Amino acid sequence: MGKLPIDEKIKLTSGQGNWHLFESALLEGRSINVADGPHGVRVYGKAVDAGNFLNQSNLMPATLFPSASAMASTWNKELIENVGKIIGRECRYYQIDVLLGPGINLKRSPLGGRNFEYYSEDPYLTSTIAEAFVKGVQSEHVGACIKHFGLNEQETMRRFVDVKVDERTMHEMYLYPFYKVIKNAQPWMVMSSYNRLNGVYASESSYLLKDILRKRWGYQGVVVSDWGAVQDKVKSLKNGMNIDMPGPSAFESKVKDALQQGTLTERELDESLKPVFDLHKRIQTTQKLKDINFEKHHQRAKSVAEEAIVLLENDGVLPIKNHQTKLGIVGDFAKHPRINGGGSATVRPYKQEIPYDAFKEVFDNIDYAQAYQEEETTDALIAEAVDVAKASDIVLFFTGTTKATETEGQDRPHMMLPVSHLNVFNAMRKINKNIVVILSNGSALDLRSVRPHSRAILETWFLGGAAGKAIVDVVIGAVNPSGRLQETFPYMVEHTPHYPTFPSLETVDYSQDLIMNGYRFYDTHRYEVLYPFGYGLSYATIDYSDIRFVNASDNQSIISVEVTLENHSDIDAYETVQLYVGKNIEYLIKPEKELKAFEKVFVRAKSKAIVTIKVEREAFETYDTRRQQFVVYNGCYTIHVGRHSRAIYATHSVDITDKVTFHPAITFDYPIKFLKLYYPHWYEYIETHYRPLRWHEQEAPIWRILNSYQRHKGIDDVILKQLMKDIKADLDASNK
């Protein structure tokens, strides 16, 4: 670094193109190559201009896995780690050094336009799936880049919106996945977000990039900006940004001026470059793969698709065992499936399965009707769909969101299925009651129009290249559906906690999100939902029994939960056991319960399986703003064990007494009753030495009560001042 001229250093703080960085004639070794995306690697066969980034004719083939929302719906950590490993191998085949993914922001509203690219509304599930993905990618000596750091939960005004949030909500909810993935998987790169946080752009926030990321979390990797996120490059360099992407940068002259004027030092420039030098050295040892087995990878994508599909409704019409059934397949998505959400996630699939073709391979008697094209239909298309419905035993209706309503760069205008699709559905249901709805979408939908008139509903998300056979295998029962919802499906958008403030234009308030997001909101307030968090049906009947809670013997866990699962059916099945923890500590704001552990278990037909889940100490943590870290507070906790957040089969209370005692940061302005709650020795001292407090005095400030005693009891000034000094010292010591 000391041998590089200053102009070269300035150049290296930016990308040297859209997809590579750290390239210089003065550096040994090749440049660092990066590529989107979280569902499969996007690689260009030739140089393209800005207008052709997403044109698939310019892309090299890769395995297109199901979307992030689908991956999280598998609730299968080992499976997703394998996904990361496969994508890592394909990165090595194309000599990509860092994969720009996964996205680990939370789903704050079903209207989020990029929800398909994010895992969950829940920070624990998000962090668990993301950690598995990152470990898989990096097991192949390829870096993962977690994004977008932080609090980038809407697409509307994403480059400028100012997120207002308190410290505890930020750390317990929105930074939690980043914290856990960095702690447990050490991703090579972190991408900063576009938005502002409490008035400061994330790409130039010393609080985010220095105080939290580097100092508190000890992160040693590279921080890269989202593409075009840097507003002030000098501020970004001084406050923790390493690379401004893409490049070449338009801000180089600003950096030179700052160096000449002394507002930026060469030492600060060197500090910015050090993590990139480390990454550059690291990637030189990664061996490019000469061969790759795309077909094998595609089969693994099919396995993910099978486990991602969630059976929302079924009155027994599924599975369709009789392959002679006259099947009507209706909907353009059956022949032109929605496989991805677009934008940064765009990939050219090595192989693209077509649901209609996959059904043709199994069923001999199929009729097809297009019904619609994107969001348009006609009387003729509806009539054709009705004719198919009349002639069919069962109708499979393919529907979902369209490119116009769900994609990166914009938020969804509503949660409804397209009006044209509903017109087709309503026409068919009048003459055929045997309709199975097959959904393709990235986030929750308002299904009130179709639910009462459907015999079954399959949520398939965006299934990527394997969007055909996986659906068929679930429909015919060759695969038992095992997907579980990673987000709540409310009845309507008006029921969502942030309606009508999502999306916001200039400022968005996250301050109540500890209990105002996803199932935390619905379960705490006892609001009815269409489908709860963690929900999913099965063809198998699996019972929970003999649920036992055993105090753990190791230092990392507090308790172990043992559950016996019995499969009464003739089909092998997965069951996902979910553990939630609730905290009941006075004056500590918490939702009713939070997901803190889960295990996906394979249970063979007519058999039992016993699963043991350790509930680690981290499950009981709360972010303490005074200590600026996660702590376990003393108190009574409830462990909830069940199938989903609304199907709890056993609860157990745990008392923790050897950790930190929670109390608010009490001052003399607090009601004196808080002394009784948290400093009873002072409360007893006052009542013993002066007089018992009356009921109406409990809400009076501490200072006022003491002043009142002085007036009515004639307390000496010196004694009173000393008493107040002693109490204040106790308060200050506890408040640190």
The residues annotated as belonging to the active site are 226
HEC assignment per residue over 89-108: HHHHHCCCCEECCCECCCCC
Residues in the chain: 736
Distance, in Å, from the CA atom of 502 to the CA atom of 404, rounded to the nearest integer, reads: 19
Secondary structure of residue 83 in the 3-state scheme: helix
DSSP 234: H
The crossing angle, in degrees rounded to 10, of helices 176-185 and 123-138 is 30
Between the alpha carbon of residue 283 and those of residues 15, 98, 142, 717, the distances in Å are 16, 9, 8, 71
Distance, in Å, from the CA atom of 551 to the CA atom of 171, rounded to the nearest integer, reads: 29
Q: What is the dihedral of CA 552, 553, 554, 558, to 10 degrees?
A: 30
Distance, in Å, from the CA atom of 383 to the CA atom of 453, rounded to the nearest integer, reads: 19
Distance, in Å, from the CA atom of 722 to the CA atom of 726, rounded to the nearest integer, reads: 6
DSSP 275: H
Strands 573-584, 594-603: pairing is antiparallel
Q: What share of the chain is helix, strand, coil (3-state, %, to 5)?
A: 35, 25, 45
Distance, in Å, from the CA atom of 71 to the CA atom of 300, rounded to the nearest integer, reads: 12
Secondary structure of residue 701 in the 3-state scheme: strand
b/e 436-463 (16+ beta carbons within 10 angstroms → b): bbbbbbbbbbbbebbeeebbbbbbbbbb
Identify whether the C-beta of residue 275 lies closer than 8 Å to the C-beta of residue 221: yes
b/e 248-266 (16+ beta carbons within 10 angstroms → b): ebebbebbeebbeeeebee
> How far is C-alpha 452 from the chain's CA centre?
30
Between the alpha carbon of residue 528 and those of residues 484, 498, 524, 648, the distances in Å are 18, 16, 11, 16
For 374-378, the CB contacts below 8 A with 24+ separation are: 374/332, 374/402, 374/403, 374/404, 374/418, 375/402, 375/404, 375/405, 375/418, 375/419, 375/420, 375/421, 376/420, 377/420, 377/421, 377/423, 377/424
* Neighbouring-strand partners of residue 489: 531
Identify whether the C-beta of residue 24 lies closer than 8 Å to the C-beta of residue 278: no
Distance, in Å, from the CA atom of 236 to the CA atom of 229, rounded to the nearest integer, reads: 10
HEC assignment per residue over 93-162: HCCCCEECCCECCCCCCCCCCCHHHECCCCHHHHHHHHHHHHHHHHCCCCEEEEEEECCCCCCCCCCCCE
Distance, in Å, from the CA atom of 133 to the CA atom of 78, rounded to the nearest integer, reads: 9
Q: What is the dihedral of CA 522, 523, 528, 531, to 10 degrees?
A: 90
Residue 599 has φ and ψ, to the nearest 5°, of -150, 130
Identify whether the C-beta of residue 682 lies closer than 8 Å to the C-beta of residue 730: yes
